[in-house]
Amino acid sequence: MPSRATVPAFRPLYRQIQDLIVQALADREWLPGEMIPSEMDLAARFEVSQGTVRRAIDELAAEHLLVRRQGKGTYVATHADPRAFFRFLRLIPDDGSVPRSRSEPLECQSLRAGQEVAKALAINHGDPVLQLRRILRFDGEPVVVDEIYLPADLFPNLTLDQLRASDRSLYTLFESLFGVRMVRAEEKIRAVAADAVAAQVLGIEPGTPLLSVERTAYTYGNRPAEWRRGLYATANHHYFNELG
Amino acid sequence: MPSRATVPAFRPLYRQIQDLIVQALADREWLPGEMIPSEMDLAARFEVSQGTVRRAIDELAAEHLLVRRQGKGTYVATHADPRAFFRFLRLIPDDGSVPRSRSEPLECQSLRAGQEVAKALAINHGDPVLQLRRILRFDGEPVVVDEIYLPADLFPNLTLDQLRASDRSLYTLFESLFGVRMVRAEEKIRAVAADAVAAQVLGIEPGTPLLSVERTAYTYGNRPAEWRRGLYATANHHYFNELG
DNA sequence: CAGTGGTCTAGACCACGTG
DNA sequence: ACGTGGTCTAGACCACTGA
């Protein structure tokens, strides 16, 4: 008679199947964009009923790890899907238009994690990290300047040239070059005044109010794999959020 | 043979049941906090299997319209539940503490909807609305000043005294006094400089960067029932958001 | 047409809360 | 002990896609 009050004494089968599928994803058994085996095949493989596999996949699809397509199959989600882009960048033009966005990398250097970065990435103070700086433009107009920190071991030999050569989103690049897929993120938002550097880069007056958006992004298994601070110009754009 | 290409030609049973349950909620058949009939009872009432009712309830629980409690029953969600509070107010102290929040109503007047308010509330220009102004304090410190617009027909005879008499959240008040339950909301966030009024109310310097948070809140059936603009002081607090 | 996911049912059994 | 929601199964049939 166990006396563990806090630990859920019981783990449903479909959650165990869910874990096995996530493990297979983390092990790159199926790559982003690829189709995974049918529900029947997975049921046979895990020796459970199709309904149990179905429930596991349902939850993973709700978390955007998988994508169901009726009549075709179930696919590994990918940032190459344009819908994924706006799930992570919530800045949109006030007029409702859909901008052509373009990332302009400025810098990519190796350095050691400071206190703040180490804590956010759950690594040790002094561990090697990559620092990127980049501008994001909407239809040519600079709207965001980002400072991005990555744990170096997950992104071996990432160079400024690689970043410049890509016309896709950063997360798409991380996914295809390093197999690191960002699955969810948390953001802390504040209002700050533009400093001289940000003002120059964004083409605004120093002191202009900007959104400061600090983000920690997580890959499979809730492992933090990126920390960034963005400064968003909100003269003609706004951060959109849905409260469910 | 219908030729509607855009309309989903097929509406699953569980969605129809879902609609019937939402209708019953909108009709106040079961009030916030009350228990609804068991799955078996509902299955008998709608003449479907228990599994179909279950699926309908699952989705409504995911949307926070209902709350399941194993071993007890299924309940109508209510803003009286403290968890609901932080679903709609995403501002939290930087130090992670849980503040004692208190709403301080300043003003409550009837007026006519201007263009912006009318559009947000999906009513006509010139229709009667209520305007509230209030300060929100965390542990006594002013952190938010809000300007709130309500369609007058949904909130008959709301007075400043009623607002002042309550120590609960606004949405809890709306729910208990008028049976209007806010179900979801959309927010547009910008960085702005504090004007003289906001600076005075929040006890900060004019020109200090603030978050401008414009919210449209919806009740059952996606009907807009509130529009507000809040100015959030983010010196010691931040807006927290989770990107799924 | 075959193969995939999507719906619906019926029944057995488990976990939880309350008497 | 009872009633609630939660899990798991098996099977039938529907809807969608693409060859």
* Span B73-93, pLDDT tens digits: 999 999 999 888 899 999 999
Check residue B8 and give its pLDDT. 60
Here the tokens at position B155 are 């909130």
B48 and B156, same domain (yes or no): no
> Hey, are the CB atoms on B210 and A209 less than 8 Å from each other?
yes
Question: Domain boundary at B76, B93, B120, which?
Answer: B76
Domain assignment present for A244: no
Q: Quick check: is A7 in a domain?
A: no
Within a domain: residue B120? yes
- Mean pLDDT computed over B48-68: 97
Is the pLDDT score of B7 beyond 80?
A: no
Residue A7's pLDDT band (cuts 50, 70, 90): low
Does residue A2 carry a pLDDT above 80? no
pLDDT of residue A8: 59
Residue A10's pLDDT band, with cuts at 50, 70 and 90, is: confident
Please check whether residues B152 and B31 belong to one and the same domain: no
Question: Which tokens in the block code for residue B222?
Answer: 């996606």
Residue at A88 is within a domain = yes
Average pLDDT for chain B: 94
Domain match, A57 and A160 both: no
* pLDDT for residue B2: 36
| pLDDT for residue B6 is more than 80 | no
Res A204 pLDDT > 60: yes
Q: Please say which residue of B76, B95, B122 terminates a domain.
A: B76
Cα dihedral B173, B174, B179, B184, rounded to 10, equals -120
* Closest CA relative to residue A185, chosen from A208, A219, A146, A161: A219
Residues A226 and A140 both lie in one domain = yes
Same domain, B17 and B66: yes
Chain A 45-104, CB < 7 Å to strand D: 48-52, 55, 69-72
How confident is the model over A148-200, as pLDDT tens digits?
Answer: 999 999 999 999 999 999 989 999 999 999 999 999 999 999 999 999 999 99
Cα A20 to Cα A9, A12, A15, A29, A84: the distances in Å are 19, 13, 9, 11, 24
> Which CATH number do you get for residue B36?
1.10.10.10
How many distinct structural domains can be found in chain B? Answer: 2
Give the residue from B46, B76, B106 where a domain finishes: B76
Closest CA to A171 of A215, A213, A233: A215
* Residues belonging to chain B with any Cβ–Cβ distance to chain A shorter than 8 Å: 63-64, 87-88, 90, 184-193, 207, 209-211, 215, 232, 234, 238-244
Domain interval for residue A105: 83-239
Q: Are residues A102 and A139 in the same domain?
A: yes
Using the predicted structure, report yes or no on whether residue B71 has a pLDDT greater than 90. Answer: yes
Q: Which uninterrupted H or E stretch holds B51?
A: helix B50-62
In a domain? residue B1: no
What average pLDDT does range A97-112 have in this prediction?
Answer: 95
Query: Which residues in chain B are contacts of A192 at CB distance < 8 A?
Result: 191, 209
Structural domain contains residue B29: yes
Q: Do A189 and B238 touch (CB under 8 A)?
A: yes
pLDDT digits (tens, 9 = 90+) for B156-200: 999 999 999 998 999 999 999 999 999 999 999 999 999 999 999
Does A222 fall in a domain? yes
- Cα(A165)–Cα(A138) distance, integer angstroms: 19
CATH number of the domain that B115 lies in?
A: 3.40.1410.10
- pLDDT score of A244: 87
